[in-house]
């Protein structure tokens, strides 16, 4: 690597954002809550599952670079804050105590057997995360009005913070791919295609954090559009790097 890699991280606080918000501020009806709860749980559980993916990558001692682990550290810190925010919101909206929700989250076990072929090496993991974070950026952007409809404006602002963090993770992944893996520029389309094909075919999310798109919110057309955008961005940046 010819340049120093320092992943970027946004500064914001769940405590500041949700300060003073109580269950009395929640305005959705009982009927709306019944429909909203599964959607809230999916987002919360997926953010919690980031720690399961981090442990799976680290515990396998894959020999990834120090720069990758710097990326992973920033990413994991942000995902913990996302969990904190969504946990607080979920408890406020549903009335379930945070301790009870945490007990359910702590019982989750990631099944990485199906996605292991997508985690072959540092290059493949970074491409997978770039695609996944790009999908999350799009998904959270679409979710803002739904969260805002639950009550206080801070719920919508929380989703906007999550969306902007996911966009930063995407940029961090692309930056490291460009700095450390530009020699694999021609491999990018095939790796992304494999990820998208897996995402389209997956019928059940198995607490892996990545590729949690087996819901009505996402379809194959959206996955393919995001995949094509990711390929264009990574390859364009890589080719510029190689031309220097």
- Give the tens place of pLDDT for each residue, 177-225: 999 999 999 999 999 999 999 999 988 899 999 988 867 778 888 999 9
The whole-angstrom separation of Cα 101 and Cα 10 is: 27
**Predicted confidence band at 73 (pLDDT cuts at 50, 70, 90)?**
very high
pTM: 0.95
Mean local confidence (pLDDT), 145-169: 97
Contact 87, 102 (CB under 8 A): yes
Domain borders along the chain are 28-243
51's tokens:
């720690």
Topology, domain 28-243: Ferritin (1.20.1260)
Residue 59 has φ and ψ, to the nearest 5°, of -65, -25
Q: How many CB atoms lie within 10 A of CB 114?
A: 14
**Predicted confidence band at 2 (pLDDT cuts at 50, 70, 90)?**
very low
The answer to whether residue 89 scores a pLDDT higher than 90 is: yes
Q: What 3-state class would DSSP assign to 217?
A: coil
64's tokens:
């990834």
């Amino acid at each position: 690597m010819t340049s120093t890699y320092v992943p970027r991280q946004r500064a914001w606080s769940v405590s500041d954002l949700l300060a003073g918000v109580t269950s009395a501020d929640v305005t959705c009806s009982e009927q709306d809550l019944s429909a909203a709860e599964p959607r809230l749980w999916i987002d919360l559980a997926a953010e919690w599952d980031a720690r399961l993916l981090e442990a799976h990558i680290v515990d396998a001692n894959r020999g990834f670079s120090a720069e990758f682990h710097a990326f992973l550290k920033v990413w994991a810190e942000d995902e913990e804050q996302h969990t904190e925010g969504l946990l607080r919101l979920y408890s406020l909206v549903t009335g379930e105590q945070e301790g009870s929700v945490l007990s359910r989250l702590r019982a989750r076990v990631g099944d990485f057997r199906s996605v292991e072929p997508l985690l072959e090496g540092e290059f493949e993991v970074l491409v997978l995360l770039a695609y996944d974070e790009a999908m999350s950026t799009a998904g959270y952007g679409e979710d803002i009005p739904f969260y805002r409809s639950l009550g206080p404006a801070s719920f919508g602002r929380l989703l906007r913070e999550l969306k902007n963090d996911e966009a930063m993770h995407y940029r961090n992944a692309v930056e490291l791919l460009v700095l450390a893996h530009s020699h694999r520029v021609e491999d990018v389309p095939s790796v992304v295609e494999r990820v998208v094909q897996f995402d389209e075919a997956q019928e059940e999310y198995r607490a892996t954090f990545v590729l949690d798109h087996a819901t009505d919110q996402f379809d194959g057309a959206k996955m393919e559009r995001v995949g094509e955008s990711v390929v264009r961005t990574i390859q364009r940046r890589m080719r510029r790097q190689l031309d220097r």
